[in-house]
Amino acid sequence: MITNWDSKYETNISEIDSQHKKLFRLINNIEEVYDENKHHLSGKTKILIDAVSELEDYTLSHFLIEERVMELNQYPDLEAHILQHNKFTDKILDLKNRLNQGDLHSSDGLLDVFFKDLIEFLRAWLTNHILKEDMDYKPFIKFSI
């Protein structure tokens, strides 16, 4: 099930909203790659890892920009917000390391469970994070970058 953008996710900071939209697209892309290959996942690990890496790279640069915007606006809960970003970054790294392990690589069944869990986790994390932590900073932002 593809995650669609909705106005409830808007921070009204155009740069941040366009980055969040791209994060939705990158998660949907992982799901599309998974769906297209779900009957022979073990032969498609490269394209699957590439899709996860693309999300990981973009997420890291997005977090840095979001943290700069919060810092620039002296957001009082900046430290707690950065902690949430760091926890997510650690989790993505863990998942990517797990994906690179041999036992997972060669098993269609294990890869299937892994990707179902991964996609569900990513979708839940991103939507919950935007609706809670990102909405919390929204009233404090007067300047963007």
Minimum distance from residue 1 beta carbon to Fe ion (Å): 23
Q: Which residue has 């995650």 as its token pair?
A: 3
Q: How many CB atoms lie within 10 A of CB 27?
A: 22
Q: In this chain, which stretch among 6-14, 20-28, 59-67, 87-95 interacts with Fe ion, using CB under 5 A? A: 59-67
Binding mask 66-105 for Fe ion (x = CB under 5 A): x---------------------------------------
Q: In this chain, which stretch among 9-17, 23-31, 65-73, 90-98 interacts with Fe ion, using CB under 5 A? A: 65-73
- What's the chain's length in residues? 145
Q: In this chain, which stretch among 11-19, 30-38, 61-69, 120-128 interacts with Fe ion, using CB under 5 A? A: 61-69
Q: State the virtual CA torsion across 113, 117, 119, 121 in degrees, nearest 10.
A: -170
The number of CA neighbours under 13 Å toward the Cβ of 126 is 28
Please give the residues from 126 up to 145 whose contact with Fe ion meets the rule CB under 5 A.
134
Distance, CA of 64 to CA of 51 (rounded, Å): 21
Q: Which is nearer to Fe ion, 6 or 103 (CB)?
A: 6
Count of residues interacting with Fe ion (CB under 5 A): 2
Distance, CA of 135 to CA of 118 (rounded, Å): 24
Q: Which is nearer to Fe ion, 33 or 81 (CB)?
A: 81
Q: How many CB atoms lie within 10 A of CB 87?
A: 11
Q: In this chain, which stretch among 6-14, 41-49, 51-59, 62-70 interacts with Fe ion, using CB under 5 A? A: 62-70
Let me know: does 28 contact 81? Beta carbons within 8 Å. Answer: no
Q: Which residues bind Fe ion (CB under 5 A)?
A: 66, 134
